[in-house]
């Protein structure tokens, strides 16, 4: 039977220079992250491995800074930053360079610009802020995963390394200026840590998507490691061990258990970091605090195993390599990854990590010339410039491809058979309607959420009106009709068609959008299976109704990504239908005409342009059976039930599908910009057919 008895505590514990338990934590952390990325449905909370890394980094860096302060009374910032650069930058910049080059060879053109931007953000360690900005932008949330998005955690750490020694130096200086002369490191860092934790809890509850990536919501995790480094030094460590031989063993087992519980119980729907991050963070701190629990502790055998220590040694490089392999491998293989493929990715990550450590990391730390801060600085600038140059070259390639695409589309759009025109009743001579599109490259202005400089905000904005609704107005000062386009991003992707109609007919157009929120009295519980802002959507929906019924508007054109929502009630479909019906009835009672656009068919694809680029000669490979793409939805059900002359259901499904199949390339146009939003080119081609239905 395994024994949990610990050995007698040493009388005078000495600070160890090698910590096998920390290497074991690194191994556990990187394996959690990699397994989560390969099998997210199997280990739903594996992302907490990043939090384990944060605590370790805070502990080790602060331990080093504390020793230097105790030895010299101050810090050498130049030496500190040079050491960090030698340790972290060679491998990180190498992986960025290889990834940028491989992306240009393997990824479709549609992803070059985003990849180049992310490579630049990662090179200068601001990737976390780039992702935080996208997290609060619904349109950007539809983007495919970035090939270097895992650099967000490295960005947080580098920003921590940039500021932390300055904080330590400031606290040491202040302590020297006080009359008492008491050390301020521990209380000062504890205050910063507590403040960051409080902000993390608040911001996670307020803006959970952005909070995940932002530095202020994560500093406390590194701060816990820092407090541990200061609080368990010298006599404090001896006091812990003297408290009883079982204390370190219990701490270690409880710590590992906390990390494991977090990994298997949390998920992408969990509000994180916030207070939930306390579980893996305190678990990691407990393992580190326990220290060496001795040979009688069964966990010591696992911690000291050669494979455990090896994975801990290469954990940094494994983290760097695994994600680009996961993203790029499906493009190299031209198919989704199988279980065997995923195991191969895991093995390749370990092999590349070992090679990187042997050939890059260790030589960079041992090379004598790199011990001079000036040499480190010059090498860093040169390496960053090289990676930035590759990213700039990628941008140039994008510009060339997009210019060619705009020319091809301009010529193609002159043809009356372009896009939906090829499916018009009586259309003849249109050739292969569902054949290859005129251009597989989508220009930037083909995005469904384009910005029109003609926008006239109601209050210098886009504005917040007195009823809390952000609006944007287009059109003439003496319009023939005032029309509101209302809904989520699936209303927004009709802008191409509705703007074209408004220009031709002299309408004034008012736009009211909110991503992932339908305008309905039904309560939205989830969006595409994930939790959403239920209260915020409900509040916004009520404000939209208040605005529409109190302003001079003739008609409302509305739609939403209805099939993506889960509504509160025993029957989500029925609850949603009742909610839409109640909202539209209120609009009708206010004298508004209501035009409900049936939502576009679903594609079942993660990214349509990438599928089309993978099958350039036969876009039918990216089509979907009509009975799968067109399914019952709450909005259509509600519109069919309301027998009021002022409400009209507009169903343009036949401009996406024939009797059996729905297509992603029609009449030379690419229909979808991503998985479910229309391109501006196809939306504009629908204008004459939408106008016929609206009037």
Asked if residues 584 and 594 have their Cβ atoms less than 8 Å apart, the reply is: yes
Q: Which residue has the higher pLDDT, 326 or 12?
A: 326
Residues whose CB is less than 8 angstroms from the CB of residue 4 and which lie 6 or more positions away in sequence, other chains included: 246, 249, 253, 296, 297, 298
Which class would CATH give 446-603+630-655+679-694? alpha beta
Q: What does the angle CA 336 – CA 97 – CA 395 come to, to the nearest 5 degrees?
A: 85
pLDDT at residue 16, rounded to an integer: 65
pLDDT at residue 461, rounded to an integer: 34
Residue 662 has pLDDT above 70, yes or no: yes
pLDDT at residue 206, rounded to an integer: 87
Task: Give 547-604 pLDDT, tens digit per residue.
Answer: 999 999 999 999 999 999 999 999 999 999 999 999 999 999 999 999 999 999 999 9
Residues whose CB is less than 8 angstroms from the CB of residue 487 and which lie 6 or more positions away in sequence, other chains included: 512, 513, 518, 519, 558, 559, 560
For the chain, percent of residues with pLDDT exceeding 70: 91
* Domains of the chain by residue range: 20-393, 446-603+630-655+679-694
For the chain, percent of residues with pLDDT exceeding 90: 68
pLDDT at residue 70, rounded to an integer: 87
Asked if residues 405 and 612 have their Cβ atoms less than 8 Å apart, the reply is: no
The residue among 91, 7, 598, 27 whose CA lies nearest residue 304 is: 27
Asked if residues 76 and 176 have their Cβ atoms less than 8 Å apart, the reply is: no
Q: How far is CA 367 from the centre of its chain?
A: 38
The residue among 19, 91, 84, 81 whose CA lies nearest residue 56 is: 19
Report CA Rg, the chain: 29
The residue among 150, 296, 278, 290 whose CA lies nearest residue 223 is: 278
pLDDT at residue 73, rounded to an integer: 84
Strand, coil or helix: 502: helix
Q: Whose structure tokens read 């494994």? A: 318
Asked if residues 544 and 516 have their Cβ atoms less than 8 Å apart, the reply is: no
pLDDT at residue 236, rounded to an integer: 53
DSSP percent split of the chain into helix, strand, coil, nearest 5: 60, 10, 30
The number of beta carbons lying within 10 Å of the beta carbon of residue 4 is 15
Residues whose CB is less than 8 angstroms from the CB of residue 456 and which lie 6 or more positions away in sequence, other chains included: 472, 473, 474
Decide the pairing of beta strands 555-559 and 593-597: parallel
d(CA 13, CA 118): 47
Asked if residues 602 and 545 have their Cβ atoms less than 8 Å apart, the reply is: no
Task: Give 408-437 pLDDT, tens digit per residue.
Answer: 999 999 999 999 999 998 888 898 999 999
């Amino acid at each position: 039977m395994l024994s949990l008895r610990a050995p007698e505590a040493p009388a005078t514990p000495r600070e160890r220079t090698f910590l096998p338990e920390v290497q074991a934590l690194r191994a556990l952390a990187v394996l959690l992250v990699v397994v989560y990325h390969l099998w997210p449905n199997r280990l739903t909370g594996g992302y907490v491995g990043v939090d384990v890394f944060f605590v370790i980094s805070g502990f080790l860096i602060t331990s080093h800074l504390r020793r230097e302060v105790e030895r010299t009374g101050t810090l050498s910032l130049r030496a500190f930053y040079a050491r960090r650069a030698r340790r972290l930058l060679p491998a990180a910049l190498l992986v960025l360079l290889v990834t940028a080059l491989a992306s240009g060879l393997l990824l479709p053109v549609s992803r070059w610009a985003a990849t180049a931007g992310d490579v630049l953000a990662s090179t200068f360690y601001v990737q976390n802020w780039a992702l935080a900005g996208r997290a609060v932008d619904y349109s950007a949330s539809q983007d495919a995963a970035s090939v270097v998005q895992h650099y967000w955690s490295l960005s947080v750490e580098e920003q921590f390394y940039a500021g932390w020694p300055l904080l330590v130096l400031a606290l040491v200086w202040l302590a020297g200026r006080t009359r008492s002369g008491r050390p301020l490191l521990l209380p000062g860092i504890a205050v910063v840590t507590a403040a960051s934790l409080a902000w993390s809890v608040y911001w996670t509850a307020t803006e959970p998507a952005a909070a995940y990536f932002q530095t202020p919501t994560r500093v406390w995790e590194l701060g816990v490691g820092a407090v541990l480094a200061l609080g368990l030094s010298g006599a404090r460590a001896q006091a812990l061990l003297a408290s009883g031989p079982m204390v370190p063993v219990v701490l270690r087992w409880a710590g590992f258990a906390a990390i494991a519980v977090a990994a298997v119980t949390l998920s992408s729907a969990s509000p994180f970091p916030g207070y939930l991050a306390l579980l893996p963070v305190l678990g990691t701190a407990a393992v580190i605090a326990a220290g060496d629990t001795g040979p009688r502790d069964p966990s010591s055998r696992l911690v000291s195993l050669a494979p455990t220590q090896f994975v801990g040694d290469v954990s940094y490089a494994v983290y760097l390599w695994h994600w680009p392999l996961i993203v790029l491998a499906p493009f190299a293989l031209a198919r989704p990854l199988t279980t065997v493929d995923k195991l191969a990715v895991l093995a390749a990550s370990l092999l590349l990590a070992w090679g990187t450590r042997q050939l890059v990391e260790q030589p960079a730390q041992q090379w004598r010339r790199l011990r001079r801060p000036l040499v480190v600085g010059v090498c860093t600038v040169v390496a960053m410039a090289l990676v930035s140059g590759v990213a700039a070259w990628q941008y140039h390639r994008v510009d060339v491809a997009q210019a060619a695409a705009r020319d091809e589309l301009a010529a193609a759009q002159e043809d009356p058979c372009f896009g939906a025109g090829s499916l018009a009743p009586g259309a003849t001579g249109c050739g292969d309607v569902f054949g290859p599109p005129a251009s597989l490259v989508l220009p930037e202005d083909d995005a469904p959420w384009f910005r029109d400089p003609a926008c006239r905000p109601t209050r210098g904005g886009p504005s917040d009106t007195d009823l809390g609704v952000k609006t944007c107005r287009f059109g003439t000062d003496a319009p023939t009709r005032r029309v509101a386009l209302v809904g989520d991003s699936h209303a927004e992707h009709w802008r191409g068609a509705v703007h074209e109609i408004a220009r031709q007919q002299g309408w004034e157009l008012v736009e009211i959008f909110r991503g992932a929120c339908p305008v309905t009295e039904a309560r939205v519980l989830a969006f595409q299976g994930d939790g959403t802002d239920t209260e915020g959507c409900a509040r916004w929906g009520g404000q939209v109704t208040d605005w529409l019924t109190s302003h001079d508007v003739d008609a409302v054109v509305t739609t939403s990504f209805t099939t993506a929502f889960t509504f509160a009630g025993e029957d989500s479909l029925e609850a949603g239908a009742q909610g839409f019906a109640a909202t539209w009835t209120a609009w009708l009672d206010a004298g508004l005409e209501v035009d409900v656009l049936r939502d576009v068919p679903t594609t079942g694809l993660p990214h349509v342009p990438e599928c089309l680029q993978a099958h350039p000669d036969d876009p039918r490979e990216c089509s979907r059976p009509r009975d799968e793409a067109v399914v019952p939805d709450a909005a259509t059900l509600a519109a069919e039930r309301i027998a009021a002359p002022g409400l009209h259901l507009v169903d343009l499904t036949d401009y996406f599908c024939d009797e059996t199949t729905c297509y992603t390339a029609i009449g030379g146009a690419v229909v979808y910009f991503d998985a479910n939003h229309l391109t501006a080119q196809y939306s504009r081609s629908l204008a004459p057919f939408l106008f016929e239905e609206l009037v």
